[in-house]
Amino acid sequence: MTTTDIRVAFDRAAQKRRSSLFRRFLRHPGGYIPLAIFLLIVLVGVFAPLLAPMDPNFVDLAAAKAPPGPEHLLGGDSTGRDILSRLIYGTRTTLWGALITIVTALVIGVPSGVAAGYFGGAFDRIATWISDALQSIPGMIILLVVAAGSRNNFELLMATVGVFMVPGYFRIARSQTLAVRGEPYIDAARVSGLSDGRIIFRHVIKAVYPPVIIQTALTAGIAMGMQAGLQFLGIGDSNVPSWGAMMLEGFRLMLTYPLMLLWPSAALGLTIAVLAIMGSTLAELVQVRTPRVSRQSGTAAGTAAGTGAGTAAGTTAGTATPLAPATGSAQHTAEESALRVENLRVVHATPTGETEVVHGVTLDVAPGEVVGIVGESGSGKSQTVFSVLDLLPSSGRATADAIWVGGADVTRATPKQRHALLGREIGYVPQEPMSNLDPSYTIGHQLIEPLRRTHGLRKAEARERARAMLLRVGLTDPDRVMRSYPHQVSGGMAQRVLIAGAIAGKPSLLVADEPTTALDVTVQAEVLELLRELQAEYGMALLIVTHNFGVVADICDRVIVMRGGDVVETGPVDSLFASPAEEYTRELIAASLDDAEGRAELDRTGTEVTA
Ligand SMILES: Nc1ncnc2c1ncn2[C@@H]1O[C@H](COP(=O)(O)OP(=O)(O)OP(=O)(O)O)[C@@H](O)[C@H]1O
């Protein structure tokens, strides 16, 4: 991609202006109208003492069942209390009760749902079981017990209602987290060394909060209805003016004095209706807005959660199938290597049992060396590098005698140490540039964050470093790129951004997994050229995964040929090309050459046609 192409792509993309969910909500009639009404209701509740014309409990016997008039605008109740004042104070009680319910449900439901979705395992199973069990408990009976035991303590009752609302939040938070935790941009954040906590707060919460807000609008309505229902049943403090208690009184006198039932029912109905409309408007806007980037096959699969333990040195694979002999060889000592993998096995749990997909691979990359792992689809290239990067999906388990990164054996490190080391020592350029960027954050933010967290740079330094890296990878307007969201840049630009991010921490090893596969042919050559330049400039080791011998011939010093989870051959590129020892290697080379000839033929035909 030329500089002009980059500019054109940028300008085209930049036209798609992004506006926040809140702003779009405010522009939608289903947003601003109910919001205005709801805010008005809140103000009435907050300023009840100023707005209410009388004390809500003041009894004026002359006003008993009085019709609306100048003294009592909405009339008097059965004991002569001013209905309007009670309604205004009742707003306060109702909102306060709903707030207690929502906060209780949010505080328990969302963190537990996110943790269950993110970490999975035993916590997920136990939390899901508790959530299901909670739903099967008859809430009203528990509420009656709590009311009797606490002498109708209003706050405790509303908190108990909140506990019964927890499963709604738990399920939403868990499913949203499950949906994003396997996204490549989460993997990319892990590889860049961000801790689980940071990833959750920065990336996962962004996906969780929109449905949680919708749920909150609906829960508020349900909580108010429940509260009115409780008070209608006579549960709660009868001295506290509330819409439910007013409805109970109105219900008793419905035939003789229907107005008493009308006012609190109208207030409750209106409040629940505006909350429901806000909820459904938000749901509509969120659906339009969230372009779910789904993981494609071949990109980093799953999160690393649960994989760290499996890589501890000395553990056995525990495969159902007999172990195949180890394959491959290391050319350098552990201390001399940027990366050295010894006897790596990867096992996946499948419905039919465990399957070993990488069978004891040994390989290494020296500092400053460019090594290609090449092989047909399914040969185990990605599983090998994902094991190094700690990115295997939760179904996968890697075991190795050792994985040396920059002279340290990461299989002996704690997961935290391992992440920190990987974030510092290894840069990762993935296959799918677009899905490896979080659509919720600007590119600048995504470059600056790992530099601050993993490399400890101050914000200004990190910004300057990110800017310089964007310039270095050929993006001529780094400030605009930093302000852009991923959807505002082209695939080629996104890959340059990821390369900038991968090298910004000055890693000693850059791992590139099919870095050009998702790009169009003209951009492929430029990205390869860029990788080669950067590797030489920074003196990094480069491990490039590809199925294309053309790429190997282009930039690699040495090649490792894989087939069916084994290393079948390794050697310097020139000698391997000149005299491959294995028939399989010969076929791969021939297939790559055929492909190249085919493409040249296509190019020629294209030229003739257009000429
Ligand atoms: N989650 C999984 N569960 C079970 N088997 C898997 C899983 N992921 C990968 N495999 C298997 O592991 C083997 C190696 O896959 P891997 O992705 O490493 O191949 P690859 O050489 O990188 O191929 P490609 O070039 O298509 O990405 C394949 O047989 C694949 O089916």
In tens, the pLDDT along 48-71 reads 888 888 888 888 777 777 788 888
Same domain (yes/no): 436, 512: yes
Please tell me the residue having the least CA distance from ligand 1 atom 14.
380
Cα of 380 to ligand 1 centre, how many Å? 6
Domain assignment present for residue 10? The answer is no
Report the first-to-last Cα separation within the chain, whole angstroms.
23
Same domain (yes/no): 280, 316: no
Please tell me the residue having the least CA distance from ligand 1 atom 17.
382
State how many domains the chain has.
2
In tens, the pLDDT along 467-509 reads 998 988 888 889 999 999 888 888 888 888 988 888 888 889 9
234: left (phi over 0), alpha (psi -120 to 50) or beta: left
pLDDT score at 97: 87
Beta-strand relationship, 541-546 and 509-513: parallel
In tens, the pLDDT along 10-35 reads 444 444 444 567 788 888 888 899 99
Instruction: Please count the CA atoms within 13 angstroms of the CA of 281 that sit on its side-chain side.
Output: 22
Question: Domain containing 114: what range?
Answer: 40-55+80-289
Same domain (yes/no): 332, 263: no
Same domain (yes/no): 338, 463: yes
pLDDT score at 301: 31
Question: In CATH, what number is assigned to the domain containing residue 515?
Answer: 3.40.50.300
Ligand 1 atom with least separation from CA of 565: 14
Domain assignment present for residue 11? The answer is no
Residue at 30: amino acid letter: G
Cα of 381 to ligand 1 centre, how many Å? 8
DSSP-derived letter for residue 314 is T
Same domain (yes/no): 281, 329: no
Cα of 357 to ligand 1 centre, how many Å? 7
Cα of 382 to ligand 1 centre, how many Å? 7
Judged against a pLDDT cut of 80, whether residue 597 lies above it is answered with no
**Dist CA 307 CA 589 (whole Å):** 35
Tokens at 314, concatenated: 């000395």
Judged against a pLDDT cut of 80, whether residue 518 lies above it is answered with no
pLDDT score at 509: 92
Residue 80 backbone dihedrals phi, psi, to 5 degrees:
90, 15
Domain assignment present for residue 2? The answer is no
Using pLDDT thresholds of 50, 70 and 90, give the confidence band for residue 341.
very high
Across 547-570, average pLDDT: 88
Helix locations, 485-548, DSSP H: 491-504, 521-538
Using pLDDT thresholds of 50, 70 and 90, give the confidence band for residue 376.
confident
pLDDT score at 64: 75
pLDDT score at 596: 52
Question: In CATH, what number is assigned to the domain containing residue 228?
Answer: 1.10.3720.10
pLDDT score at 310: 33
Same domain (yes/no): 397, 276: no
Same domain (yes/no): 285, 314: no
Using pLDDT thresholds of 50, 70 and 90, give the confidence band for residue 325.
low
| Ligand 1 probe mutation, 346, 377, 382, most atoms within 8 A of CB | 382
Domain assignment present for residue 568? The answer is yes
Please tell me the residue having the least CA distance from ligand 1 atom 4.
348
Cα of 345 to ligand 1 centre, how many Å? 13
Tokens at 162, concatenated: 């909140």
Domain assignment present for residue 193? The answer is yes
pLDDT score at 290: 39
Across 249-260, average pLDDT: 79
Across 248-256, average pLDDT: 78
Judged against a pLDDT cut of 90, whether residue 256 lies above it is answered with no
| β-sheet bridge partners, residue 543 | 371, 511
pLDDT score at 228: 76
| Ligand 1, residues at Cβ distance < 6 Å | 298, 301, 348, 350, 357, 375, 377-383, 393, 395-396, 547
**Dist CA 445 CA 583 (whole Å):** 48
Domain assignment present for residue 386? The answer is yes
Judged against a pLDDT cut of 70, whether residue 608 lies above it is answered with no
What is the three-class DSSP state of 303? coil
Q: Which of 244, 259, 289 is the last residue of a domain?
A: 289
pLDDT score at 18: 45
Question: Which of 422 and 327 is assigned the larger pLDDT?
Answer: 422
Beta-strand relationship, 396-399 and 339-350: antiparallel
pLDDT > 70: percent of the chain: 85
Same domain (yes/no): 335, 456: yes
Judged against a pLDDT cut of 60, whether residue 315 lies above it is answered with no
pLDDT > 90: percent of the chain: 21
pLDDT score at 19: 53
Distances (CA, A) of 288 to 85, 282, 284: 43, 10, 6
Angle, alpha carbons 268-74-237 (nearest 5°)? 55
Question: Which of 130 and 234 is assigned the larger pLDDT?
Answer: 130
Same domain (yes/no): 329, 196: no
pLDDT score at 8: 42
Judged against a pLDDT cut of 80, whether residue 535 lies above it is answered with yes
| ipTM of predicted complex | 0.95
Contacts of 12 (CB under 8 A, 6+ apart): none
Question: Please, what is the average pLDDT of the chain?
Answer: 80
Same domain (yes/no): 215, 347: no
Same domain (yes/no): 284, 316: no
Same domain (yes/no): 272, 320: no
Cα of 378 to ligand 1 centre, how many Å? 5
**Dist CA 356 CA 115 (whole Å):** 30
